[in-house]
Structure 1
Amino acid sequence: MNLLINEPPLQVLPSLAAKVGLNEAIILQQLHFKTLISAHIHDGHKWVFNSYQQWQNEFPFWSEKTIKRAIRKLEDDGYIFSTDEFNKYKIDKTKWYRLNYTKLGYLTMGQHDPSNETKCPDTWGQSDPTHEDKLTPSSRDTLTPPITKDIKSIKNNIVEELDIVHEIIGYLNQTALKNFKATTTATKRLINARLADGYTLEHFKCVIDTKVKQWLHNPEMNKYLRPDTLFNATKFEGYLNETQNVQPIQHNSSGPLDLDFSKGEDL
C-alpha cells in the first residue's frame, strides 16, 4: 500500500475542527486560502464565489448535500457571510462568501471572552506603530493556507487584511454589549483618523475597556459607549491616559445623576 502523498494535501488545524466541526473547518480553511488570492472586492472586503457544484470539484470526497449542510451551518453560526447580490444577472444564483474574521479572530486568538483584560501599551499617542500592531488575526494568518497548486501565486504577494475596523467594532460590541456596524462611513473615518495619528489596535481596546468599566452599568453614561464618543479626536487621548489606576464610576442610586448636557457633549 502506498502511503505517500502524490497530490496537494488539504490542511486543517485540529483545534479549529474541534470548535466548528471537521467538515466545516476544512471549508473555512479553503475559503481563507481562496480569500488571500482573491481579486474580487466589494464593500471593502475580499469575496470568493463558487457554486455548490464547483465546491464539489474542490472536495470530490463529499456529496453536494454534505457541502450544502456544512456551508449552511457555518452561515447559521456566523463564521461566514454569503450573498448573491454581486452576480451580474439576477437569474445567476452563484453564492459569494467571505469569512467573519472578527469571530474567527476571537476563536483562534483566545479573545472571545471580553473579561480577558487587554494589556495596554506603556506609551501611546504619537508613537510610531509597528507593522505587527496594524495586523489583525486574519492578516497574521492564524489559519494556515493549504498547500495547493495555486500557492505559487502568493509567494511574492504579501497579503494584509485591512479588517482592523471590524476587529475594533467587534471588540466594542462584545465588550459593551452593543450592535454597531463596522461598515458605517463615519465610524470608519473616525478609526482610520486615529490610526493615522499613530494609535494601534491595542490602544483602541484599552479605551474600550476603560470606558466600559466606568459606563456599562451607569444608565446615564451607557449611551456614550459608541464610536463617535470613544474615538473622537478631542477625547481619545484623554480616555487612553485614564487606563492606569482607573476606578469605575459609582452610580448614585439615591437620586438622579446631576449632569448638565446643555453645553453639548463633553465627556
Structure 2
Amino acid sequence: MSNDKTPGFFTQIPDYALKNPNLNSTDKIVYGEIYTMLNTMRVCFASNAHIADDIGVQPKTVSKSITKLAKLGFVTVKLVYKEGTKQIDKRYIQLATPMPQLGHTPCSNKSIPYAPNGVDPMPQLGQVSKSLSRPLSRSVKPTMSGSDEQDAVARKILNFMNKTTGRHYKPTATNLKLIKARMKDGFTFNDFKTVIAKKAEQWGQDTKMQQYLRPATLFAASKFEGYLNEQPVKGTRETLPSWIHEPDHQRSTKQADPNNRALIKRKLAKLRQKGEVKQ
C-alpha cells in the first residue's frame, strides 16, 4: 500500500501458505492479497495491475505468481470472455479446495481436509477476523522508518523539480539515489528548491542549456554545492524598458521598428540570464 493512505485492513497470509516451501515471498504476498479479498468481500476479480500496485511489483510478476498458485492447487481461475470474441472481459479467482497438503494427517471432521492439528487455518469466507482484519484504531498512527521518510522527501524534491521545469522525470532508483546522496551530505529541502529554481530561471529559456535541467546535472556531487552558492555575474545592470512586457497591441506606433525590437529583446534576455540586467 502507498504511504499516503491509512490501510483499512491487514493482509492475511494463512500459515499453510506462509510455510509452504514451494512458494517464494512474492507468491505468498499475492496469495495473501487474494485470500484477504475473498475473506472480506467474498469475491476476487482484481486485475494483475491492481494487485501489483498494492504490493509494489510489476503486473507480469503478479501474473506469474497467480499461474503458479493455480498450478500448485492454491487457487482456481475462471476467465469470462466478451461475447463472440477471445478477449478477456473478467477474471474470477477462488481458493481451491481442499487446500494443498503440508504433510499433516488429514482431519476428517474439518471442512478443510489438510488442516494441521485439527485447527482450521481458514475462517469461513465473509467472516472477517477481528484480530487480523479490523480497521486501525485512531490512536494507532502508522510510523515511517528513516529510509521511508528520506524516500518521501526525495520524491517531493523530484516532484518540485518536475513542476518547476516542466519535466516529467520518474522517481526511479537512479534519480532518488542522487537526491538522497546530497541529503546525506547535509543539504536541506530548501537548498534543493533554491538550486532548482535558480537553474530553471537561468536555463529555462536557453535552448542549449534546457537539456541540463535534469537530476543527473542538478544533483551531481561535483556541481550541486556550486549551483547553490552561485552568485549573479557582476557587471553593468540596466532596467528593462517597460514595453518589453507589454502585449504587442498596447505598444506605441512611435517605437522602433518591430524587427529591431525583437533583436533587442533577445539580447536583453541573454543579459538577464547572465545577471547583467534586472527587470
TM-score (norm 2): 0.39
Larger radius of gyration: 2
Higher relative contact order (CA 8 A, sep 6+): 1
Higher helix share: 2
TM-score (norm 1): 0.40
